[in-house]
Amino acid sequence: MKTWTQALAGLLLAALLQPAWSAPVEDGYDLWLRYRALPAAGQARVMAQARGIVHAQPASPTLQAAVAELKRGVAGLAGREPAALARPADGTLLLVTPASAPAGVDLPWEALGREGYALRSLRLDGRAVTLIAANTDMGLLYGSFAWLRAAQTGADLSRLEQRSAPRVGLRLLNHWDNLDRTVERGYAGASIWDWWKLPDIRDARYVDYARANASLGLNGTVLNNVNAKAESLTRPWLAKAAALAEVLRPYGIKVWLSARFSAPVELGGLKTADPLDPAVRAWWKAKADEIYTLIPDFGGLLVKANSEGQPGPQDYGRDHADGANMLAEALKPHGGLVMWRAFVYSPDASDRAAQGHAEFQPLDGRFADNVIVQVKNGAIDFQPREPFHPLFGAMPRTPLALELQITKEYLGFSTHLVYLGPLFEEVLRADTRAKPEGATVAARVVAMAGVANIGSDRNWCGSHFDCANWYAFGRMAWDPGLASGDVAREWARQTFSSAPRAVDTIATMMTASREMVVDYMTPLGLHHLMGTGHHHGPAPWVDNLERADWNPVYFHRAGRDGIGFDRSPRGSNAVAQYTPDWAARLARPQTTPEAWLLWFHHLPWDHGMASGRTLWAELVAHYDRGVAGVGALRAQWAGLRGDIDARRHAEVAAYLAVQEQEALWWRDACIAYFQSVSGLSLPAGVRPPAQPLEAYKALRFNFAPGRGG
């Protein structure tokens, strides 16, 4: 494989050779809030509607942030900052709430709720104005970002008629950031939270982080890793969190913390953390009082318990509801919430995919009303593709949150271009077949949490295209009905170029990329084939780890007789955890979607596929298709060299080159291994792996990034 040194050398050479007439060099820091100057016609279009701004006085910090963003955006797009006006004139942006709305203007105030907004072009006293209307200043901030998004994406600003309110109430990032600034599953440098310097020194980057999140409608952030340290709840660390809360508050972002369940023992000197012990309950109530004294609008606690070695209520013979309800009781007087993760698995489970449902479904209806159970999109662990988690159709009396991974732990880290919008769309639109009819995952959740891919790298996410996943998560958390392809076009236009050819090409690349990575990593429902611990690269041969469910062979079960995990009634019967319609469909290979086939069934290599090929030939064809797809991405991106600024074009090109090499590695290593265990010859015309299987097995990655925990 080509080395990173060679790839970076190519990057620098490409940048030096970039034509002098190309777009200005950029580094990605501005994300989708670039506000670069539009062509002359676009500048005139923006300035015609934004010569001035009128808003209520005195302005709250949130309203000040909205006005500042409009001024910044218009100045960048049109070359001139709008004037602050006392009363509307032609071409005015008028920010109004019900108390300040002009007489006679009829707006759907009730439908907007606390966070929604309306954008409307109209004539007011003979003057052309644009209303940005909301019930609260927070809604005005969201509406201001929406107007700027419309301006950047070419909407007709003279005929705006938009209304939007979030369909999911809680929209949070989960930072897996540790107190020493390492980031578990982070591939973009150190944590952006400089804990050592806080609370006294507050990096200006925190404001830009808040702006980016507010532009998407995100309203919460969990600052620390779910594999939490008890120290994060001590007074000095709470003061650091309070300092961040002050920065984020004007942008509507509440601070949350991950809590270690054993904190009463580790910090309080108690002999137990039993959730039914009165002293333990008193300790948590006192801690909640302390937190809310420092952070009055604190969102709540996120808890990972009795999973991967983390302490929890089961250590004391209690269940998840006992643990969650104890914390909920402590937070409730302050209006706080508990997000209790349903990601659990133990060494003695016969099928790891079934354990979350087995532990949580019997507790449906037992959780306090300020507890939300946070469920990963699938039952294993953020794989390139998983069936939707059966809990989404099995807990009608419990508020649920959908947990998605924005960082790409199992998807090539920041190196591979994998737009996750299609993955998000796939799970949000999945119909659980629970009653009532049309019970999609999106309709079942009251919150969405995204495991962040943000770090200290200048471009925030490690690679430019990874920022699209942050963007897509935020936009689709606000409105789960958005199509991922539309979101891709929106992001591409704001981030890279407004040129139609460039937008079309980039959006096409993005929407195709997720299926490519499924093809060259885990086709046809295969899962968890990645390297041990670091999850980098293929290792389907690993079978010697301490726990069975840490070994890839546990999941694919390939041998002379076939491949796949039998979760049908003949196997683990995990299909029974789905609603009856789904259970019946997934019980038979003939009615199981091919994309999930080997997730639910162990099938012989000569099993007939819809294409007419055998399962073995189909598997190989998917691997080849995935590699070819990445080659196509490289060619498409190369064709945009004159449309994208030199630095970012060269950086993306270097990453795509590495991605193609690693896709080939995945393809060759997996085919070599599955051929060795199946004893089959390669299908006619198929290129054999470049190296013998032992060469792939010998690869080691002792210092892969993202392993902090």
- In the chain, where the domains are located: 31-164, 170-495, 520-565+602-697
**Residues 6 or more apart from 683 whose CB is under 8 A from it?**
613, 616, 617, 620, 621
What pLDDT, on a 0 to 100 scale, did the predictor assign at position 708? 66
Residue 8's pLDDT is what? Answer: 47
Residue in 115, 381, 566, 660 annotated catalytic: 381
**409 has catalytic annotation:** yes
H-helix or E-strand containing 118? strand 117-124
| pLDDT surpassing 80 at residue 396 | yes
- Does residue 104 register a pLDDT over 90? no
CA dihedral 69→74→77→80, nearest 10 degrees, is -130
CA distance 567 to 254: 41
Euclidean distance between the first and final Cα of the chain, in Å? Answer: 29
Overall average pLDDT of the 178-186 stretch:
98
CA distance 262 to 271: 10
**For 108-130, b where at least 16 C-beta lie within 10 A, e where not — what string?**
eeeebeebbbbbbbeebeeebbb
335-371 tens-digit pLDDT: 999 999 999 987 777 899 999 999 999 999 999 999 9
Using CA atoms, how far apart are residues 218 and 195, in angstroms rounded to an integer? Answer: 23
Q: Is the pLDDT of residue 99 over 70?
A: yes
Is 381 noted as a catalytic residue in this protein?
A: yes
Mean pLDDT of 554-564: 98
**In percent, how much of the chain has pLDDT > 90?**
94
Q: What pLDDT does residue 339 have?
A: 98
Over range 122-131, report the average pLDDT. Answer: 95
Residues in the chain: 709
Q: Point out the least confidently predicted range of 23-32, 79-88, 409-418.
A: 23-32
Work out the average pLDDT over 89-117: 95
Q: Which of 27, 180, 289, 308 is catalytic?
A: 308
Strand-pair partners of 339? 302, 372
pLDDT at 9 over 80: no
What is the mean predicted confidence (pLDDT) over 428-444?
91
Fold match between 170-495 and 520-565+602-697?
no
Specify whether the backbone of 524 is left (phi greater than 0), alpha (psi in -120 to 50) or beta: left
Q: Residue 548's CB: how many other CB atoms inside 10 A?
A: 15
The confidence score (pLDDT) of residue 24 equals 54
**pLDDT exceeds 80 at position 25:** no
Does the annotation count 308 as an active-site position?
yes
d(CA 705, CA 415): 12
Confidence check: pLDDT of 380 > 90: yes
pLDDT of residue 4: 45
Q: E-assigned strands of 553-610? A: none
* Amino acid 15: pLDDT: 47
So what's the pLDDT on residue 10?
A: 52
Mean pLDDT of 198-213: 98
Residue 361, exposed/middle/buried by CB under 10 A (0-12, 13-18, 19+)? middle
Both structure tokens of 74:
């218009």
Residue 507 has pLDDT above 70, yes or no: yes
Q: Which two tokens stand for residue 68?
A: 């500042």
Evaluated on CA atoms 10, 13, 17, 18, the torsion sign reads positive
Provide the b/e sequence for 146-158 (b: ≥16 CB within 10 Å).
bbbbbbbeebebe
The sign of the CA dihedral 252, 490, 454, 531 is positive
Rg (CA), the chain: 26
Over 80: is that where the pLDDT of 537 sits? yes
Domain 31-164 belongs to what architecture? 2-Layer Sandwich (3.30)
Instruction: Determine the Cα–Cα distance for residues 518 and 424; give it in Å rounded to an integer.
Output: 14
User: Residue 29 has which token pair?
Assistant: 């820091």
Average pLDDT, the chain: 95
- Token pair 């060299």: residue: 641
Share of the chain above pLDDT 70, in %: 96
Q: CATH second-level architecture of 520-565+602-697? A: Alpha-Beta Complex (3.90)
In the predicted structure, residue 11 carries a pLDDT above the cut 60: no
Q: Could you tell me the pLDDT band of residue 21, with boundaries at 50, 70 and 90?
A: very low
- Using pLDDT thresholds of 50, 70 and 90, give the confidence band for residue 438: confident
- On the question of a cis peptide bond just before residue 593, with omega within 30 degrees of 0, the verdict is no
Q: Does the pLDDT of residue 585 top 80, yes or no?
A: yes
* pLDDT score for 19: 44
pLDDT at 629: 98
Phi, psi (5° rounding) for residue 614? -75, 165
170-495, which class in CATH?
alpha beta
Q: How far apart are CA 455 and CA 452, in angstroms?
A: 9
The Cα–Cα gap between 30 and 36 comes to 10
Contact 400, 438 (CB under 8 A): no
Percent helix, strand, coil in the chain, to 5, is: 45, 10, 45
Distance CA(384)–CA(420), nearest Å, equals 9
Q: What average pLDDT does the segment 293-306 reach?
A: 98
Pair 524, 617: CB distance under 8 Å: no
Confidence of residue 243 (pLDDT cuts 50, 70, 90): very high
DSSP 396-456: TTS-EEEEEE-S-TTTTTTTS----HHHHHHHHT-B--PTTTT-BHHHHEEEEEEE----S
Nearest to 133 by CA among 93, 192, 79, 188: 93
Q: What is the H or E stretch that residue 349 is in?
A: none
Mean pLDDT in residue range 576-582: 97
Q: Are 220 and 170 in contact (CB under 8 A)?
A: yes
